[in-house]
Structure 1
Amino acid sequence: MKVSKTLVQVVEGDSYIDLITDAARYRLILMNDDVIRIRCTFDEQFAEEASYVLATTAWPDRMDAVVPERKRITPLSASYVDRGSDLLMSTNRLNVVIHKHPFAIEIQDLQGNVLHADVKERSYVKDNQGRLYHYSCMSDDDYFYGFGEKSGNLNKKKRRMRMHNVDTIGYDAELTDPLYKHIPFYIKMNGKSQAATGMFYHNAYDSVFDMGCERSGYWTPYSYFCADGGELDYFFIYGPDLKNVVSRYTDLTGKTILPTRYSIGYMGSTMFYTELEHHSDQAILGFMDKCREEDIPCDGFFMSSGYTTGQDGKRYVFNWNYDRFPNPKQFIDDLMEKGAALAPNIKPGMLLTHPLYKEFAEKGAYIKDESGQKPETDRYWGGAASFVDFTNPEGRELWKKHLKSSFISLGVTSIWNDNNEYEIKNTDALCDFDGGHKEISALRPIMPNLMAQMAKEAISEVDPNTRPYIVNRAGFAGIQRFAQTWAGDNNTSWKSLKYNIPIILGLGLSGVANQGCDIGGFFGPAPEPELFVRWVQNGIFQPRFSIHSCNTDNTVTEPWMYPSYTSYIRDAIQLRYTLVPYFYSLLHEASVVGSPVMRPLVYEFQTDDKVWEESFDFMLGRSILVANVLEEAAKTRSVYLPQGSDWVDWHSRKRYSGGQTVGLEVSLSSIPMFIRSGAIIPLTPQLKNIHKGHIEELHLLVEASEDASFTLYEDDGVSNDYQNGNFLTTTIHLQTGKETKLLFEREGSYQSPVKRLVVDVICKEIAPVHIQLAGNKLPMFLSQKDWENSETGWYYETESKTARMKYAAPQTDYEVIVQFVVKDLISI
């Protein structure tokens, strides 16, 4: 066992310092005022810089040509002061104290508050099996969030979690660990200081986080990270707000890719249709017709892998089954004519009987055994298989070749990457590593990231202006740069409905803003009617909204499967489509800032200790609190409304002050939602299809008791023209007071299809006396009917305390002024 106990030497390098201890070598790089990189190796020298993961670096990296749009920054000066018993490095926001003996690193804010401290005498350890440990001091007041895709409650304190990609079909959403994704990042928030910090371990080996589950009376309370190999290479990220931590973490690993707008719509799916003996294409097209018949919007279909089945009944990727799909090109065209994009299921494991197996083997495109001479084989869906090596340029190019010929040439621009956990038992199997050669144990979770990147590249190479839509099941840190994700093959149960929520919220805090789960449950019997309704009512708030199933009782989960309940399903999905402009703007925000779409309450209300443990109620963006009904046969629902804001019931418009728990009576139709003070929410009425519908009338819902702002984002939704300025952002500034102002500031060249605006201003105390648009008074109507029949004007809806105005959409910046001065009718 090796343990660093004493600092022996300091070596100053170019923009870094190296610390030589009696057991290991360390390198400290001040990335900026808030982010510090610390590398530790127990070898004589550090390994070469060769990362497929980092979107931002401050050094040359062997993978610079492989990683698209990587940003290179200049780090801060790595000067230090020797204070005798320790060294001090400083940024404008942080102090880094390096204790000489016993060796340990401590990071403080400028007021001396300790943000991170190594456990002295066992801070960095390499055991006799080659495992690496990093021990950190922890407090009883610490809360831990993130860790990627993890089961259970949002706060992961007192949890031990394994980082490893696994195909966990039918998992328990409260208890199963690990799941599909491996993201070694967490956020610590201290309850006393309320300061948040992040730790990202840049290491793809299998690893474990123990967040205080283990205790020893010989040591201060601690948490630890343990990796099976590599280096202890981590980035410390300062907040102190959670929002800042997430934003800075996504600076390192990349922002969420801006998706196609149609991906916000309902995406149909089931394994059932593609397992029919014949005419699976007609079943899917019939599904779209049924959606229209039932007035249920739908914009795409995730096509399960039965379409690839060979004569032996096994799945062969890139191999169309012509009994089920006689004319794939015609089918894809017909589906798009009905307003839906096709996303075919793709798998990276190729069975030994695959028609293309030999071609990939001859190109050396598979991961090889430990000798490096022949393809490694392992258990896969359908039998023994070899796995495409995406760290091999030959493997990448051959994969893209077949993506293009089998799908993209037919008009497919959406790819669904599935079963890509790379469960290869032989940890010594060799990957090309772009000529460097490295064991699969060092690269396993990076393979699904590269698989998603290849799909993106293949689509762009065929048509550079087509915006790809990629969906991944597995992934590592940075998967958000390429793909939307989902929480795998969940079990059909009330528990899954409930605990999939904190799984999604934790992923959002881990940089993956665009994700969801299989609505209705993937594995198990058909969901009972009440469970199905509640799951759809929750699923409409997930960025990925898809009802998908592999039911074990010969049924298929469809929106109309229970006719007497279809109205509840329809109403929920139509509410989802009403929120499309809001969702799209939030996804744009994620692509720029890194913000999650579904946000735990602690993300927005970090100073309210009553939300630090909340796992099931969440914010949709800044403005909407969602408290879905998650219990069977519920008649009431208690909701805590965070302090610091006022809240307005979405349905009744009843107002509540924050910092209290309210009780609601609920029925099967209930979707409890609350509007936050200062909310600005863009909505669209009557949208039935995102592909074919144009938002000509935009509604804005405004709660006008708190200053706020919101940026509405618009572009064509399908091309990459936005990268060249063909977008439109409209930043709406709300300034409250007796003269409440809405200022609309536009940027970009995109010509919005919006022709009319309807603005609903929720008033706190009194009705307006008059409203001005761009300096001109809007006509006031006393009758709602007269207002509805007019082109321009406003009226006051007394029951909901809402001033409703409408007008033609200006094409320039403008201002709306709502006057709240009380009109004295008596003295007149």
Structure 2
Amino acid sequence: MRVSRKLVQTIPGDRYVDLVTDVSKYRIYLMNDHVIRIRCTFDEQFAEEASYTLTMTAWEDKMDAMMEDRRRVEALPALYEDRGTHLLLRTNALRVLIHKEPFAIDITDADGRVLHEDLKERSYVKDKQGRLYHYSTMKDEDYYYGFGEKSGHLNKKKRRLRMHNVDTIGYDSEHTDPLYKHIPFYIKFHGPTQAATGLFYHNSHESAFDMGCERSGYWNKYSYFCADGGELDLFFMYGPQIKDVVRYYTDLTGKTILPTQYSLGYMGSTMYYTELDRDSDKAILSFMDRCRAEGIPCDGFFMSSGYTTGEDGKRYVFNWNHDRFPDPQRFIEQMRSKGAALAPNIKPGMLLTHPLYRSFDEAGAYIRDESGEQSQTDRYWGGQASFVDFTNPKGRQLWKEHLIASFIDLGVTAIWNDNNEYEINNPDALCDYEGEKKHISALRPLLPNLMAHTAKEAIAEAAPGTRPYLVSRAGFAGIQRYAQTWAGDNSTSWHSLKFNVPVILGMGLSGVANQGCDIGGFFGPAPEPELFVRWVQNGIFQPRFSIHSCNTDNTVTEPWMYPSCTPYVREAIRLRYRLVPYFYSLLHEASVEGSPVMRPMVYEFQQDPATWEESFDFMLGRSLLVANVLEKGAETRTVYLPEGCEWIDWHTRERYAGGQTIRKPVAIHSIPMFIRSGAIIPLAPHLQNIHQDRVEELHLLIEPSENASFVLYEDDGVTNRYQNGDYLTTTISVETQRNTVISFTKEGAYPSTVKRVVMELVCKHIAPVGVMLQGRKLPMFLDPSKWEAAEEGWYYDLERTSAKIKYKNCESDYEVTVNFDVKDLISI
């Protein structure tokens, strides 16, 4: 056991400082005022900087040329003061105290409040097996969020969490650990000080977090991170808001890639169709026709791997089964004509019987065994397989060639990467690692990221200018900058429906804003009618909305599977489509700020202690609280409405004060939703297909009782032209004083498709007395039918306490002024 106990030397560097202890070396960068890097090695020298993960660095890195979205910053000067017992480094927001003996690092804010404290005499450790440990003190008032894709409640205190990608079909969403993603990052929130901090361990070896499960009376209460190898390379982030920590973390690992707009539509899927003996193409086309006949919008189909099945019944990536799909290109074109994108399932493991196995093997494109002489084989779906090595330029190039020939040249630019956890059981198997060779034990969770990176490059090469839509089941920190993810092969149960919510919320706090789960449950018997309806009502708020199944009772989960419930399913999916402009704007925000789309209550209301343990109610963006029904047979739903604002029932417009718990009656059609005061929510009421429809009438739901703003984002939804300025952001700002002024400020070259704006202003006390557009008075109507027939004007809906305002969209900046003066009818 080697423990850093004593600082023996301090060596100033170029915008960093090196520390030498009795057994280890440290390098500290002050990345900026809020982010600090602490790098620790027990070897003689630091390893070469070589990261597939970081998008912000302050040093040269071997992967710089490969990582196109990497940004080089200049670290702050690492000037230190020697205070006798410790060294002190400063930023404007932080103080770093390096204790000399026993060696430990503490971090405080500028006022001296402790934010992070190493466990002294046990802070940085390497054991005889080569495992690395970092011990931190913890307080009773600490809450821990994030950790990527993890089961259970949102707060992970008193949990032991393993970082390891694994195929966990039918998992228990409350207890199973690990799942598919490996994201060694967490947020610590200290209740009394309202301070949020983050720790990201830049280490892709298998690892674990112990968040207070272990206890010893000889030490203060502690948590620890343990990795099987590599370095203790950690980044500390200080908020003080949780949303600040998420922003800083995604500065380091990348923002969520802006997806195609059609990916926000309903994406059909099931394993059932592609496992038919023949004519799977007709089954999928019939599904699309049935959607249209049922009035259910649908914009795409995730095609399960049965389409690749060979004559021996095994799945072979890049192989089209022509009994099931006689003419793939014609099928893809037919899907496109129906307004649907196709996302085929792709797997990185190639069975030894695969027709292409030899060509990949001879090219050296697979991960090798420990000798480096032969391709490594391991257990896979269908038998022994070898796995494409995406750290090898040869593997990436060959994969791209087949991806292009089999799909992209046929018009497919949506790729579904599946079964990519790389469960290779030989830790000494060798990856090429850009020619340097490295054991897979050090790189395994990075391979799904690189697989997605390769697909993105293939689309850029073969379909220039086309925006990729990639989906990945596995991933490491940074997967968000390539792909949408989902929570794998969940089980079909009420329990899974409920606990998939905090699984998704934890991913959002871990930088992955664009994700969801299989709606209806993937593995198990068909969901009962009530469960299916509730799952759809929940799923419409997830960025990835796909009903997907592999039912164990010879059934298929479809929107119309229970005709008596189809109206409720249809109503929910249509609500999803109404919300598309809001979703798309939130995903644009995620691509710029890193913000989650589905947000835990504590993210928006960390000042309210009642939100700190909330796992199931969530915010959709800033403006909408969703309290789905998650219990079987529920007749009421208890909802806590956070303090600091007012809340308005989405359906009834009934107003509630914040800081209270209410109980609402619910029925099978109920989707409990509450509008936050200051809300600005853009809606598309007539949208039925994102591919084919243009949003010509935009509705704006605005609650104007407090000042607020929202950025509405528009572009063509399918190309990369937005990167060159072909987009439109409209900052909608509400200022409430004597009158309410709603201003619209525009930026970008994209010509909006919106021809007419319909605003619903949710009024608090009184109706308006007048509405003006750019200083011009809009006509007021008493009869709503006459308002409907008019081109512009407004009327007051007394039942919904809302002013309805409509007008022709303006191409330039403009203002709408709503006068709430009380009109004195008597004195007149």
**What interval of TM-score do these two structures reach, taking the shorter chain for normalisation?**
over 0.9
Q: Distance in 1 between matches of 2:652 and 2:115?
A: 44
Structure 1: tracts of 5 or more residues without a match: none
In structure 1, the residue matched to 2:517 is 517
Secondary structure of 1:466's counterpart equals coil
- Pairwise CA distance, 1:444: 0.3
In structure 2, the residue matched to 1:783 is 783
Provide Cα deviations, 1:719-749, integer angstroms capped at 9, x if missing partner: 0110010000000000012210000000001
Counterpart check, 1:251 vs 2:251? yes
Provide Cα deviations, 1:486-521, integer angstroms capped at 9, x if missing partner: 000000000110000000000000000000000000
Whether the 8 Å CA contact 2:408–2:463 is kept in 1: the answer is no
In structure 2, the residue matched to 1:346 is 346
- Pairwise CA distance, 1:19: 0.6
Whether the 8 Å CA contact 2:180–2:487 is kept in 1: the answer is yes
Secondary structure of 2:216's counterpart equals coil
Secondary structure of 1:603's counterpart equals helix
Query: How do residues 809-824 of structure 1 correspond to structure 2 at under 5 angstroms?
Result: 809-824=809-824
- Pairwise CA distance, 1:66: 1.4
Whether the 8 Å CA contact 2:779–2:792 is kept in 1: the answer is yes
Secondary structure of 1:713's counterpart equals strand
Secondary structure of 1:115's counterpart equals strand
- Pairwise CA distance, 1:561: 0.3
Secondary structure of 1:557's counterpart equals coil
Secondary structure of 1:89's counterpart equals strand
Q: Distance in 1 between matches of 2:11 and 2:801?
A: 68
Whether the 8 Å CA contact 2:520–2:547 is kept in 1: the answer is yes
Counterpart check, 1:209 vs 2:209? yes
Q: Distance in 2 between matches of 1:81 and 1:619?
A: 45
Q: Distance in 2 between matches of 1:502 and 1:65?
A: 37
Greater Cα offset, 174-183 or 12-21:
12-21
In structure 1, the residue matched to 2:675 is 675
Q: Distance in 1 between matches of 2:101 and 2:17?
A: 18
- Pairwise CA distance, 1:118: 0.2
Counterpart check, 1:633 vs 2:633? yes
In structure 2, the residue matched to 1:331 is 331
In structure 2, the residue matched to 1:310 is 310
Query: How do residues 154-553 of structure 1 correspond to structure 2 at under 5 angstroms?
Result: 154-553=154-553
Q: Distance in 1 between matches of 2:823 and 2:608?
A: 39
Q: Distance in 1 between matches of 2:611 and 2:116?
A: 23
Q: Distance in 2 between matches of 1:602 and 1:505?
A: 11
Counterpart check, 1:85 vs 2:74? no
The amino acid across from 1:210 in the alignment is D
Whether the 8 Å CA contact 2:727–2:750 is kept in 1: the answer is yes
In structure 1, the residue matched to 2:587 is 587
Provide Cα deviations, 1:303-332, integer angstroms capped at 9, x if missing partner: 000000000000000000000000000000
Secondary structure of 2:371's counterpart equals coil
Provide Cα deviations, 1:17-76, integer angstroms capped at 9, x if missing partner: 111001110000010000000000000110000000001100000011111221000000
Provide Cα deviations, 1:773-823, integer angstroms capped at 9, x if missing partner: 010000000111111111110000001110001000011100000000101
The amino acid across from 1:313 in the alignment is G
Which aligned runs of 4 or more in structure 1 are off by greater than 3 angstroms? none
The amino acid across from 1:514 in the alignment is N
In structure 2, the residue matched to 1:751 is 751
The amino acid across from 1:258 in the alignment is L
The amino acid across from 1:143 in the alignment is Y
Q: Distance in 2 between matches of 1:352 and 1:706?
A: 64
Whether the 8 Å CA contact 2:25–2:42 is kept in 1: the answer is yes
The amino acid across from 1:312 in the alignment is D
Greater Cα offset, 757-766 or 62-71:
62-71
In structure 1, the residue matched to 2:21 is 21
Q: Distance in 2 between matches of 1:239 and 1:399?
A: 41
Q: Distance in 1 between matches of 2:170 and 2:101?
A: 50
In structure 2, the residue matched to 1:623 is 623
The amino acid across from 1:432 in the alignment is D
Q: Distance in 2 between matches of 1:310 and 1:691?
A: 33
Whether the 8 Å CA contact 2:255–2:481 is kept in 1: the answer is yes
Counterpart check, 1:646 vs 2:657? no
Query: How do residues 665-744 of structure 1 correspond to structure 2 at under 5 angstroms?
Result: 665-744=665-744
Secondary structure of 1:176's counterpart equals coil
- Pairwise CA distance, 1:436: 1.1
Q: Distance in 2 between matches of 1:501 and 1:282?
A: 35
Q: Distance in 1 between matches of 2:376 and 2:534?
A: 45
RMSD between superposed Cα atoms in Å: 0.4
Provide Cα deviations, 1:390-428, integer angstroms capped at 9, x if missing partner: 000000000000000000000000000000000000000
The amino acid across from 1:477 in the alignment is A
Whether the 8 Å CA contact 2:792–2:806 is kept in 1: the answer is yes
In structure 2, the residue matched to 1:108 is 108
Q: Distance in 2 between matches of 1:526 and 1:698?
A: 38
Provide Cα deviations, 1:362-398, integer angstroms capped at 9, x if missing partner: 1100000000110000000000000000000000000
The amino acid across from 2:461 in the alignment is E
In structure 1, the residue matched to 2:608 is 608
Q: Distance in 2 between matches of 1:677 and 1:105?
A: 43
Q: Distance in 2 between matches of 1:436 and 1:621?
A: 44
State how many pairs are aligned: 828
In structure 1, the residue matched to 2:54 is 54
Secondary structure of 1:501's counterpart equals helix
- Pairwise CA distance, 1:624: 0.2
The amino acid across from 1:413 in the alignment is T
The amino acid across from 1:335 in the alignment is M
Q: Distance in 2 between matches of 1:286 and 1:3?
A: 65
Provide Cα deviations, 1:600-649, integer angstroms capped at 9, x if missing partner: 00000010000000000000000000000000000000000000010000
Q: Distance in 1 between matches of 2:392 and 2:525?
A: 41
Q: Distance in 1 between matches of 2:136 and 2:365?
A: 41
Q: Distance in 2 between matches of 1:76 and 1:364?
A: 44
In structure 2, the residue matched to 1:761 is 761
The amino acid across from 1:572 in the alignment is A
Instruction: Give the TM-score normalised by structure 2.
Output: 1.00
Secondary structure of 1:189's counterpart equals strand
Provide Cα deviations, 1:90-149, integer angstroms capped at 9, x if missing partner: 001100000000000000001000000000000000001110000000000000000000
Q: Distance in 2 between matches of 1:106 and 1:585?
A: 39
Q: Distance in 2 between matches of 1:98 and 1:3?
A: 16
Instruction: Give the TM-score normalised by structure 1.
Output: 1.00
- Pairwise CA distance, 1:686: 1.9
Q: Distance in 2 between matches of 1:37 and 1:792?
A: 57
In structure 1, the residue matched to 2:98 is 98
Q: Distance in 1 between matches of 2:538 and 2:696?
A: 28
Secondary structure of 2:780's counterpart equals coil
The amino acid across from 1:68 in the alignment is E
- Pairwise CA distance, 1:464: 1.8
In structure 2, the residue matched to 1:71 is 71
Secondary structure of 1:544's counterpart equals coil
Matched-pair identity in %: 72
Q: Distance in 2 between matches of 1:210 and 1:490?
A: 25
The amino acid across from 2:598 in the alignment is M
The amino acid across from 2:791 in the alignment is E
Q: Distance in 2 between matches of 1:796 and 1:693?
A: 30
Greater Cα offset, 661-670 or 61-70:
61-70
The amino acid across from 1:198 in the alignment is G
The amino acid across from 1:388 in the alignment is V
Q: Distance in 1 between matches of 2:738 and 2:287?
A: 53
